Structure 1
Amino acid sequence: MFYLGWNGLVWLKAIFSFQQETVYWLVITIFSYAYILGRLVKPLSWLSIVGSIWFGYIQYGLLLFPIANLVAWVLHLTGVPGQTSVVVVGTVTAIMIAIIFITGLYNAYSPVIRKYEVTIPKKTEMKKIHVAVASDMHFGKLSGVAHAKRLVKMIDRIKPDIILLPGDIIDDEPEHFQKKNMGAIMKQLDAPLGIFGVLGNHEYYGREIPQFLKEMEKVDIRILMDEVILVGDSFYLLGRKDKTDSRRKSFQQLVNDNNIDVSLPLLAMDHQPAELKEAQESGVDLIVSGHTHRGQMAPNHLITKRLFELDWGYLKKGQLHAFVSSGFGFWGPPLRIGSRSEVLEIVVQFEDREGY
């Protein structure tokens, strides 16, 4: 907090002759604790929005300010007056942060459709299905009504046979989802084979899963909790509880306990893409996940790439087609750098083994 605040204060003094240090440090302190205050004190819940945006400033401030300090120091050594170097370097840094925020906001609130086509070598009553996948909406304060309307509009363009929502549909508690009547928007989603979802880690963090399930039931979204169902007499859909729940069943348990006809395709939803090998070994043909946000703000993607075998995109692993979405929403700051909010359109062709 002090390092970020000091850099800002030095620049403000140099360019505007700013003198209100007490007020400045009070504002910086409020920003630094805004997220915590907003979460703990209901009348101050709006502060969590300020705190979320501040997280973005912290990350890119800590990345840019050391470089800016070094450049200013080098300029000073070469004879450039101290105030001039602070003004020039500080202004360039401020512009860079502004560009980062503008770009990040655009990427967060301007989702795209990413289309994939795969073939599963199993014969079913259906020759082909269109699957729409949206994960990590984090519907709540910052991912609100307008963003939910974008989701409905984009999925309607796909005209899917089935819609899959692999976790983090809401941002912790369902309170803001309810207050904004976002269920009425989600109820506009339509797919002849149904709309299905699973729990993400944030549904667990909110500790209001029963209330969340009621909200989803109202809008005809079926949340699968360690369940396997037969869809259209053509393929199975498996939905796991999130990895947060240590008591959830393994892929193998779910397959064995449900007497699955292995000649039919098996599609799965698992919020965190942490067990692709287990899914492949259990006979899953296609799996969709989210959770990673592809790091959401670069260079965080370097971390998610190390944590997960597949942190974004598509991977063929044996018979398994694995997809990990960067998510439709965001957590914390409404920023995406090096990632983009998205909906997946997956066209799945079913063919018998001879035709594959």
Structure 2
Amino acid sequence: MAKKQTRRIFLKRTFGSFLTVLGLSSGGYLYANRIEPSLLDIQKLQIKHPLIPKSFNGVKIIQFSDTHLGFQYNLHQFNKLVEKINLLKPDIILFTGDLMDEPNQYTEINKLIPILKKLHAPLGKYCIFGNHDHGGYGSDIYRNIMETTDFTVLLNESAPIKLQDGSTIYLLGIDDAMLGKPNLPLTLKNVPKDTFKILLSHAPDLAETALQYPVHWQLSGHSHGGQIKIPFFGALVTPPFAQIYPEGLYSIGEDNPLSLYVNRGIGTTRLPFRFMSKPELTIFTFKAEK
């Protein structure tokens, strides 16, 4: 009971600070509650590395993350997102966790599955667990949904992405840091050392650990980009495991640096607001450096 009261007080104070610092009018409240959460920022980046085979040049990845269906984000909005992704014609689709806000309370799974099935990517659809995917005994619910809709669930596992000429890169997917049991050595088992590797980790701060292994890029979510940011102050709150790297592109380490990209996600959680942290869809295009 004390824990719930502490969370309630924390959220109340956070919301109060949000309103106080911004001096929000009813128009500002409407913007943060309705308008910005419905906007979509599309970021485009190149993934470059000497180990990327030349035949991968131009191959397109789309990453989306943190939809948190059932909190503020609904299936009508999600269906529009799926249509947008398909119009962008990705070769690979990656989902980096937190599909539903409370999986065991979500009542529209039968409507969700056909929408997820519509996502098309000729080189495959892949996903990992976020903390909300595990929460509320949701692990099996999430896995069943994703596997039913033709996603490959990577739970401390790797998957080769092969082109017709035999050239290969590897996707690595580790479990969530908060409610799961991430195991990067197990994930890397049987993955050739001289191949290009992309790690999918819901928690961006696990890049500090990934830096110690032969991983070249890491794609993450979880942070929501802070979700609510105050000018000259930054994010009001960032979750555990997203406090070092809250959003955007980072180069970590000096020798053989790890490139980390943190997607701001689509939905909201805890507080139904976004301010200066628009929902994001990220497009990556491979480019060989040879």
Q: By the TM > 0.5 criterion, same fold?
A: yes
Give deviations 1:280-301, integer Å, cap 9, x for gaps. Answer: 2211111110111111112461
Determine if contact 1:226/1:248 at 8 Å carries over to the other structure. yes
Question: Per-residue deviation at 1:220?
Answer: 0.9
- TM-score of the pair, normalised by structure 2: 0.83
User: How far apart are the structure 2 equivalents of 1:63 and 1:313?
Assistant: 23
Question: Per-residue deviation at 1:218?
Answer: 1.4
Question: Per-residue deviation at 1:146?
Answer: 1.6
**Structure 2 CA distance for partners of 1:144 and 1:63, relative to 1, 3 Å:** closer
Question: Per-residue deviation at 1:59?
Answer: 3.8
- Name the aligned partner's letter for residue 26 of structure 2: A
User: How far apart are the structure 2 equivalents of 1:331 and 1:110?
Assistant: 16
Map 1:66-85; keep pairs closer than 5 Å: none
**Are 2:36 and 1:107 equivalent residues in the alignment?**
yes
**Structure 2 CA distance for partners of 1:262 and 1:127, relative to 1, 3 Å:** farther
Map 1:333-348; keep pairs closer than 5 Å: 333-348=271-286
**Structure 2 CA distance for partners of 1:177 and 1:120, relative to 1, 3 Å:** farther
Match of 1:325 in 2: 263
Determine if contact 1:172/1:204 at 8 Å carries over to the other structure. no
Question: Per-residue deviation at 1:134?
Answer: 0.5
User: How far apart are the structure 2 equivalents of 1:99 and 1:265?
Assistant: 48
Among 202, 205, 220, the residue aligned to 1:289: 220
Determine if contact 2:134/2:180 at 8 Å carries over to the other structure. no
Among 235, 249, 254, the residue aligned to 2:187: 254
SS in 2 for 1:106: helix
**Are 2:244 and 1:309 equivalent residues in the alignment?**
yes
Match of 1:230 in 2: 160
- TM-score of the pair, normalised by structure 1: 0.69
CA RMSD of aligned residues (A): 2.8
SS in 2 for 1:128: coil
Map 1:1-356; keep pairs closer than 5 Å: 59-64=14-19, 96-104=24-32, 105-124=34-53, 125-176=55-106, 178-179=108-109, 181-232=111-162, 233-245=167-179, 247-249=181-183, 251-255=184-188, 258-299=189-230, 301=235, 303-304=237-238, 308-317=243-252, 318-351=256-289, 355=290
User: Percent of aligned positions with the same letter in both sequences?
Assistant: 24
Give deviations 1:103-155, integer Å, cap 9, x for gaps. Answer: 21211112121111131111424233211000101112421112211221221
User: How far apart are the structure 1 equivalents of 2:19 and 2:106?
Assistant: 34
Listed as ranges, the gaps of 5+ residues in structure 1 are 1-35, 37-51, 69-92
User: How far apart are the structure 1 equivalents of 2:85 and 2:213?
Assistant: 30
**Structure 2 CA distance for partners of 1:305 and 1:160, relative to 1, 3 Å:** same
Determine if contact 2:66/2:265 at 8 Å carries over to the other structure. yes
SS in 2 for 1:281: coil
Give deviations 1:62-89, integer Å, cap 9, x for gaps. Answer: 4555x89xxxxxxxxxxxxxxxxxxxxx
Question: Per-residue deviation at 1:304?
Answer: 3.3
Give deviations 1:224-275, integer Å, cap 9, x for gaps. Answer: 11001111151111001101246431x23422xx222122110110001112
Q: Which is bigger in relative contact order (C-alpha 8 A, separation at least 6)?
A: 2
User: How far apart are the structure 1 equivalents of 2:75 and 2:239?
Assistant: 32
- Name the aligned partner's letter for residue 37 of structure 2: A
User: How far apart are the structure 2 equivalents of 1:200 and 1:208?
Assistant: 11
SS in 2 for 1:229: strand
Question: Per-residue deviation at 1:211?
Answer: 2.1
SS in 1 for 2:133: helix
Determine if contact 2:173/2:187 at 8 Å carries over to the other structure. no
Aligned length: 271
Name the structure with the higher strand share: 2
Determine if contact 1:164/1:197 at 8 Å carries over to the other structure. yes
